[in-house]
């Protein structure tokens, strides 16, 4: 089914004794399916002409007149009663009269109160293992840089959602706490939203009805909550040995025959060549996926992307699917 806005059919304006202006706009809509009814037309009207929008029509513009919820949808006048209809006439009303706002009405039933949504940022200092280009932070002797000099301030957005419910889903909260989203949510990709905290309180409404005020906190990260771990170790691949076999690795020795400090490893477990571009690998052998095959080198430092946090369906918590 496809419904289109054919155009404006008629328009008029009335002004009352207080000077308020009310505009009546008649529009023609057409469907390509006889089974489409006024509800199908309404869906398109809500998209093209949302309630509260100002009156604008060609050269006509009244910034003080807003579209009201009042509306009528009827078959086109050329359609006889009982005949299938594809042409519809929609009448919209704009007015400068004050309308009741959402906050003019008090909600008595606490279960009907809308979600309360707010946001914040958490700030932590984290010792970085990679620079901005994804290369390991190494000294000239190829040892990893550590200490406050490589600490970076990291800020992550958080989302807090509060609402009232008749029942407390404590088992679901326990199941999903510290998990990440298993599907896109709020414009964030999969594994980018972590459920980090929950608070609840039982309250009394009236004299005999209990309900729960529940608050959730989520931490978001556009780069996902996966861990990017540089391959650093004491053991390296022995010359002439096959990689990925435990017995093929031994502690790296320096020129004096002493056990060396930890070193950067390449994708085979050998000593990495720091002049080569790092190779970013997701997963565990044999199900590994190279994420930068066009730029990374198998001889360069290996960066392992690991999905440590488990996934869950965050919508089971009863949260909204969008934040707007």
The confidence score (pLDDT) of residue 291 equals 86
On whether both 80 and 115 belong to a single domain, the answer is: no
Cα distances (Å, whole numbers) of residue 245 to 118, 236, 249, 285 = 51, 11, 8, 12
Among residues 46, 68, 102, the one where a domain terminates is 102
Q: Is residue 272 part of a domain?
A: no
The confidence score (pLDDT) of residue 102 equals 54
The confidence score (pLDDT) of residue 117 equals 95
Give residue for tokens 């994420």.
Answer: 291
Radius of gyration over alpha carbons of the chain, in Å?
A: 31
286 or 13: whose pLDDT is higher? 13
Q: pLDDT by residue (tens digit) across 121-147? A: 989 888 887 888 877 787 777 677 888
On whether both 166 and 221 belong to a single domain, the answer is: yes
261-287 residues labelled b (16+ CB within 10 A) or e (exposed): eebbbbbbbbbbeeeebbbbbbeeeee
On whether both 97 and 123 belong to a single domain, the answer is: no
Among residues 102, 121, 143, the one where a domain terminates is 102
Report if pTM > 0.75. no
pLDDT of 163 above 90: yes
Domain membership of residue 89 as a residue range:
3-102
pLDDT of 21 above 60: yes
Report the number of distinct structural domains present in the chain.
2
On whether both 97 and 131 belong to a single domain, the answer is: no
Q: pLDDT by residue (tens digit) across 41-88? A: 999 999 999 988 899 988 999 999 999 999 999 998 887 777 888 899
Q: Distance (Å, rounded) from C-alpha 159 to C-alpha 188? A: 12
Rounded to 10 degrees, the C-alpha dihedral 30/31/34/35 comes to -130
Contact (Cβ atoms closer than 8 angstroms) between residue 234 and residue 260: yes
Q: Is residue 130 part of a domain?
A: yes
Q: Is residue 238 part of a domain?
A: no
Residue 138 pairs in a beta bridge with: 144
On whether both 98 and 114 belong to a single domain, the answer is: no
The confidence score (pLDDT) of residue 104 equals 54
On whether both 118 and 34 belong to a single domain, the answer is: no
């Amino acid at each position: 089914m496809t419904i289109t806005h054919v155009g404006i059919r008629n328009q008029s304006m009335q002004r009352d004794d207080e000077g308020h202006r009310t505009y009546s706009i008649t529009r023609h809509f057409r469907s390509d399916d006889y089974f489409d009814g006024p509800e199908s037309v309404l869906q398109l009207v809500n998209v093209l002409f949302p309630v509260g929008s100002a009156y604008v029509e060609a050269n006509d513009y009244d910034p003080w007149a807003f579209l009201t919820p009042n509306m009528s949808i009827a078959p086109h006048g050329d359609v006889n009663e009982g005949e299938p209809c594809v042409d519809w006439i929609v009448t919209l009303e704009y007015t400068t009269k004050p309308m009741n706002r959402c906050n003019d009405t008090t909600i008595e039933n606490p279960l009907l109160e809308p979600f309360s949504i707010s946001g914040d940022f958490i700030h932590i200092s984290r010792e970085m293992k990679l620079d901005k280009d994804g290369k390991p932070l190494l000294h000239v002797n190829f040892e990893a840089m550590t200490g406050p000099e490589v600490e970076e301030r990291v800020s992550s957005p958080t989302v807090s959602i509060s609402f009232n419910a008749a029942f407390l889903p404590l088992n679901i909260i326990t199941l999903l706490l510290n998990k990440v989203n298993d599907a896109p949510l709020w414009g964030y990709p999969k594994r980018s939203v972590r459920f980090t905290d929950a608070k609840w309180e039982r309250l009394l409404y009236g004299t005999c009805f209990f309900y729960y005020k529940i608050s959730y906190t989520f931490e978001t990260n556009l780069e996902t909550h996966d861990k990017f771990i540089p391959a650093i170790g004491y053991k390296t691949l022995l010359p002439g040995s096959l990689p990925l076999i435990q017995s093929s690795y031994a502690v790296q020795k320096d020129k004096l025959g002493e056990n060396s400090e930890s070193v950067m490893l390449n994708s085979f477990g050998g000593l990495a060549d720091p002049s080569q571009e790092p190779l970013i690998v997701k997963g565990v052998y044999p199900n590994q996926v190279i994420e930068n095959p066009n730029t990374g080198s198998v001889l360069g430092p290996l960066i392992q992307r690991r999905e440590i946090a488990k996934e869950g369906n965050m919508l089971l918590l009863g949260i909204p699917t969008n934040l707007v």
